[in-house]
Chain A
Amino acid sequence: MIEKMQGSRMDEQRCSFPPPLKTEEDYIPYPSVHEVLGREGPFPLILLPQFGGYWIEGTNHEISSLPETEPLQSPTTKVKLECNPTARIYRKHFLGKEHFNYYSLDTALGHLVFSLKYDVIGDQEHLRLLLRTKCRTHHDVIPISCLTEFPNVVQMAKLVCEDVNVDRFYPVLYPKASRLIVTFDEHVISNNFKFGVIYQKLGQTSEEELFSTNEESPAFVEFLEFLGQKVKLQDFKGFRGGLDVTHGQTGTESVYCNFRNKEIMFHVSTKLPYTEGDAQQLQRKRHIGNDIVAVVFQDENTPFVPDMIASNFLHAYVVVQAEGGGPDGPLYKVSVTARDDVPFFGPPLPDPAVFRKGPEFQEFLLTKLINAEYACYKAEKFAKLEERTRAALLETLYEELHIHSQSMMGLGGDDDKMENGSGGGGFFESFKRVIRSRSQSMDAMGLSNKKPNTVSTSHSGSFTPNNPDLAKAAGISLIVPGKSPTRKKSGPFGSRRSSAIGIENIQEVQEKRESPPAGQKTPDSGHVSQEPKSENSSTQSSPEMPTTKNRVESAAQRTEVLQGFSRSSSSASSFTSVVEETEGVDGDDTGLESVSSSGTPHKRDSFLYSTWLDDSVSTTSGGSSPGLTRSPHPDVGKSGDPACPEIKIQLETSEQHTPQMGC
């Protein structure tokens, strides 16, 4: 008995002064909340669960330690929202500007989508390279002066990711490809958030008690008004966070806030419907329990334990305890807790962690909540989902780019030429042929991928296909276009345009220039000059180029590529007028991306230079996180569908077989 008491005393000491970021797991269980409540106060705002699993930030709330003349929070403190700079690179530097997109399939890395751009930053020439693999996106800006020789596309990819091991990349020929690519890159960005708000009264220790509270104290009401604005849910037009805005099934009102262009809907425990006789109060728990981050508000000094609420979703809590502040307004003590696998997130709590009610604290609190959600997405459960999502989306993007590029090339044949003359029928016939070929290869892939399933009874939900099988299937599909009756030297159509031009094709252009022009000159469309037409012709035939031809010419490739690059520069200059026209468009995809010039006036150069510096700094500080698992605009991803409903392809995915823990 005495030993037990001594043990309790030691535990109490440990609990009274835990370190600011306590992450160690201790074999001795922490005292239960009931044990702690049995002692004299004051109590910490947060207690660890008996078997740990969480860290705590902000454990000093001694108001008396504040110097009287010092403000509660330093005005120079900068509260900063986390960001994902990698997700925005394509939109900032590539979209609407002249650049090239490629795709390929690596046996180890899987699907690859590669964007590259010639960039002038300051007065120095650079290559901006953006390579997407199933695990992450690689980005680099490389001064051309650092290169001993001008690299080909595969060599460029190796510059940003040494593990790339493919023979070649295929050019993306689809005019709307940039829209698909930017949608993929930005699928991790979200501007909508929902946070739970839980009201904890003195002595409450279970979720049943927390969710059964209906009355709101004046201090809690004041806090809610401070947090955001009260809104009627009926016909609410902003982000509703899963609440019912039509039938009133989730209560009549809630608390909502728009903070730095981010919409926040709060799930307030006392404003969600109360159900008599329901111990779990499912109508409340269903929403708060599905939030990732929650605020716990306490009127008085009572401890909150993060495992009070059983949820696999809730990963972080910000606990706010009211302290009567007197004439200057209330003071709030703040502690933060999160699961062990959630990385630390800012802004850091001051020491002591006490705030005066006001706009500074509101900004701090909302920033802390948003950064908490970003951080929670890096926890194991959510990170795995993001990996799965990213790999599946990248495969879908690869397939879309491949199908569209094949379709573009399929229009070159004699039969297509005749059909196209008669109207749209020929065009769609060509699409159908490509789709049929694609379906066959998909079936082949499905067949080979299904085989392992009979061996194992475990499945992961991953969409990542078995790479060797997919490589085989991809090979099959790549052979198919060669069977179509296509003449390499057929005349180009004026209306066709490529969104990307491979460097291999520049060599082809050289050859065409040496030969006399063939056939009649087709009518020139308003925005297409001679050179793009030539490029289209050469692009059509490049997949059918025999491998031996490539090998034989490799010795001369360097000189050819360099000359080609020089031509590209002059092409850029000649499109200055087009650039001016493009700038007048309201961000719509005009299909002129491939002819936009990378040359800019000196003034713009300065802007670009400073932008690059900002990118560099933020990238360094942010690291290369996998990003967030939210899709802000599901419809955006589907906006391409109405344009070409005929070419929806059924994607059969194979399962990765990993042993699954028994239930």
Chain B
Amino acid sequence: MEGLVLRPAKDYRVVVLGSVAVGKTALATQFACGRFPERCEPSVEELFSKVIEVNRAPALLEIVDTVGAEHLVTLKDLYIRNSDGFVVLYSVCDEASFQAVRPLRERMGRLRGSRAVPLVLVGTKADLDAERQVLTAQGRALAREWRCPFLEITTKSKTMVDHVFTQVVREMEALAPPGQEAPRIPANALETWPAERFIG
């Protein structure tokens, strides 16, 4: 503890995107609550919040678990335009969900214009190898094309899930505009930072 210095947390809004039933809520729930929901229960949008430490600095993540179905397109577009980072999911057991991520990425680029699109491409349900429809090489090739991190995970593993969000924070920091850093840290943050620091 002697070497630790309290630093103001950067706060980010991270949006989880992907087709229906690829495991968006499972990812968010595992990350924020340490719980894996066994049953598929299609979600209306949910919000989660959690602090993690990345590169010895705290990061406060607000996670938006979006609606995968084609409702509420307007609100999803607003999140794409106004959020800091993205986790794009497909299921390795569902070829259609992989086909859907390319047009999604194109739409993200259009909506954000010249702003960077910090994202991590994630293939879920990697534990169900018998039902695999999307090869690891396909996901890796797409991530290389997009120049973004790529992971294949099972949301049953908290370690893997945490790694996803660590990666997205690194992407957001790496792609942040140079002048944007200073204004996002309030001058009096140290005084308002809670006494107890919770690192997930």
Contact = CB atoms under 8 A, between A and B. Distances in A.
B115 A443 contact: no
Contacts of B60: 453-454, 457
B47 to A, nearest CB: 5
Interface string A282-311: 100111011110000000000000000011
A187 B29 CA distance: 31
Interface of A: 187, 194, 241-242, 244, 246-247, 249-250, 275, 280, 282, 285-287, 289-292, 310-314, 381-382, 385, 388-389, 392-393, 396, 443, 446-447, 450-451, 453-455, 457-461, 463, 629-631, 634, 637-638, 641, 645, 648, 650-653, 655, 660, 663
B43 A450 contact: no
B133 to A, nearest CB: 9
B55 interface: no
Given A389-B72, A389-B75, A389-B78, A459 B192 contact: no
B51 interface: yes
Nearest to A373: B71
Interface string B86-112: 000000001110010000000000110
B161 interface: no
B48 A663 contact: yes
Interface in B12-53: 13, 20-21, 29, 32-33, 35, 39-45, 47-49, 51
A289 B69 CA distance: 10
Q: Enumerate the 6 nearest inter-chain pairs by beta-carbon distance, A residue then B residue, closest first.
A: A286-B21, A663-B33, A249-B96, A631-B74, A290-B69, A459-B62
Given A187-B74, A634-B77, A648-B114, A289 B49 contact: no
Interface of chain A, main secondary structure: loop
A314 B48 CA distance: 22
A310 B185 CA distance: 42
Given A249-B94, A655-B62, 19 more contacts: A250-B96, A285-B21, A286-B40, A290-B67, A290-B68, A312-B43, A314-B42, A389-B78, A451-B188, A451-B192, A457-B60, A463-B82, A630-B71, A634-B74, A637-B77, A638-B110, A645-B113, A651-B81, A652-B82
B39 to A, nearest CB: 6
B85 interface: no
A275 B40 CA distance: 15
Contact of A454 (B20, B21, B64, B186): B186
B11 interface: yes
Contacts of B62: 459, 461, 655
Nearest to A313: B42
Nearest to A663: B33
A663 B29 contact: yes
B56 interface: no
Nearest to A381: B44
A591 to B, nearest CB: 25
A289 B25 CA distance: 14
5 contacts: A242-B20, A290-B20, A451-B192, A461-B64, A631-B77
Given A451-B186, A458-B49, A663-B48, A289 B82 contact: no
Contacts of A385: 44-45, 72, 75
A313 B74 contact: no
Contacts of B45: 385, 461
A247 B99 contact: yes
A101 to B, nearest CB: 21
A392 B80 CA distance: 12
A313 B115 CA distance: 33
B11 A450 contact: yes
Contact of A286 (B20, B39, B64, B131): B20
A280 B81 contact: no
B70 A310 contact: no
B47 A392 contact: no
A241 B70 contact: yes
A457 B194 CA distance: 9
B131 to A, nearest CB: 8
Contacts of A638: 110-111
A385 B48 CA distance: 16
B77 A454 contact: no
B47 A461 contact: yes
B183 A460 contact: no
A663 B39 contact: no
Nearest to A439: B179
Nearest to B50: A457
A393 B21 contact: no
Contacts of A645: 113
Contacts of A630: 71-74
A461 to B, nearest CB: 5
Interface string B184-197: 11101100111000
A187 B9 CA distance: 36
A473 to B, nearest CB: 12
Given A282-B40, A385-B45, A392-B78, A454 B73 contact: no
Contacts of B186: 447, 450-451, 453-454
A289 B42 contact: yes
A393 B8 contact: no
B135 to A, nearest CB: 16
B91 to A, nearest CB: 9
